[in-house]
Amino acid sequence: GNSVTQMEGPVTLSEEAFLTINCTYTATGYPSLFWYVQYPGEGLQLLLKATKADDKGSNKGFEATYRKETTSFHLEKGSVQVSDSAVYFCALSPRGGSEKLVFGKGTKLTVNP
């Protein structure tokens, strides 16, 4: 089956610190991989995506590389800001089959000034 495992939070960092949120997946076939971000009281926003092995998704200073050999899609940012405080969800979309997104449990990030 398909599943996504994210590092458990919460994660608390100081402004300008380096961020890594680990995400590994199990899937049949070749899924597309996503990171979504949820700010307090809001729905999910697509942060970045990658559709095939070795693709790097990037947006707003965040990056994640689709690693097929390690079945990983870790989220990184070199210098976080207070405004990055949110919950981050890793997700996969199976190819050629179900359209359903499979989500990780989410990682809450708090960035302090």
Partner 1 sequence: GAVVSQHPSWVICKSGTSVKIECRSLDFQATTMFWYRQFPKQSLMLMATSNEGSKATYEQGVEKDKFLINHASLTLSTLTVTSAHPEDSSFYICSARELAENIQYFGAGTRLSVL
3-state secondary structure the chain: CCEEEECCCCEEEECCCCEEECEEEECCCCCEEEEEEECCCCCEEEEEEECCCCCEEEECCEEEECECCCCECCEEECCCCHHHCEEEEEEEECCCCCCCCEECCCEEEEEEC
Closest separation between CB of residue 72 and partner 1, Å? 19
1 is an interface residue for partner 1 by CB under 8 A: no
Q: Find the part of the chain contacting partner 1 (CB under 8 A) among 11-19, 21-29, 69-77, 94-102.
A: 94-102
89 is an interface residue for partner 1 by CB under 8 A: yes
Binding site for partner 1 (CB under 8 A): 32, 34, 36, 41-46, 49, 51, 89, 93, 99-101, 103-106, 108
